[in-house]
Homo-oligomer: A and B are copies of this chain.
Amino acid sequence: MDKNSLIINLEDICFAYPGRAPSLDKLNLQFHQGDRMGLIGPNGSGKTTLLHIIMGLIKPSSGRIEIFGGHVEQEKDFRMVRQKIGFLFQDADDQLFSPTVLEDVTFGPLNLGKSQDEAKAIARRTLESLGLAGFEDRITYKLSGGEKRLVSLATVMAMEPEVLLLDEPSTGLDETTEKRLVEILKSVDFSYILVSHNIDLLIETTDYIGYMISGDISVDDDSIPHTHRHMHKHGKYAHKHDLSLPDKKS
């Protein structure tokens, strides 16, 4: 598949939860191989809904979904989609449902028809690549918040997807864990869509940012480099925009 082929193509997607105003309203989205897209927008603007539509967890009331060049509509079409697109949920407790870390990470590969041994090998490899070697036999519910988030990421990556959808992966994480997550995202060569309220995080980890507002996305490509100068108290504390701006020393 060439670098810039279209992976996700949504056309005029509409969706409303029963008895609600539309969450998605004639939404269009083109996402290409190699893209790293950020998505920001107010609470309730439909970001999570959009990701659920892509994964086939809810079905749009109208519109057309094409993924990897094929039209997807039925549950069985989405089975294929879910092998190729990994989805990191907002709450790690929802994603880690197995008793131990190893069981949780092997769950995906086993469902894809891998043997127990292959699945374990994949799991070990994935955990190691995220710096989680030695976590295999830890009990999932006893992990700390940050560890849970990273293990969740491992469960998704163990499916060896081509694209990742990340729904607010950094909420509630401190700077160290957040930084680790950012490093991981920068080092893997996935295409991904990252939803976050944190613009600094998005600027650092994505190539372009979509702004979602009342069920539609506007992508703004003319990223205008500009200069801020500012001054503030508490300069002694490490603070986020120090870390997030590659050119801060300019």
Which A residues are closer than 8 A to B by beta carbons?
40-45, 144-146, 168, 171-177, 197-200, 202-203, 209, 211, 220, 222-237, 239-242, 245, 247-248, 250
Contacts and interface: CB of A to CB of B under 8 A. Distances in A.
B235 A44 contact: no
Contacts of A233: 203, 223-225
Given A220-B237, A232-B245, 5 more contacts: A199-B239, A203-B232, A223-B234, A224-B234, A224-B235
Contacts of A202: 234
Given A232-B245, A235-B226, A247-B230, A200 B240 contact: yes
A228 B200 contact: no
A143 to B, nearest CB: 10
Given A203-B232, A203-B234, A245-B230, A172 B144 contact: no
11 contacts: A44-B146, A198-B240, A200-B239, A200-B241, A223-B235, A224-B234, A226-B231, A228-B229, A229-B250, A230-B247, A232-B245
A211 B230 contact: no
A236 B224 contact: yes
A192 to B, nearest CB: 17
Q: How many copies does the complex hold?
A: 2
Nearest to A241: B241
Contacts of A248: 228-230
A83 to B, nearest CB: 30
Given A229-B228, A248-B228, A250-B231, A237 B199 contact: yes
Contacts of A227: 229-231
A200 B198 CA distance: 12
Contact of A229 (B176, B211, B229, B232): B229
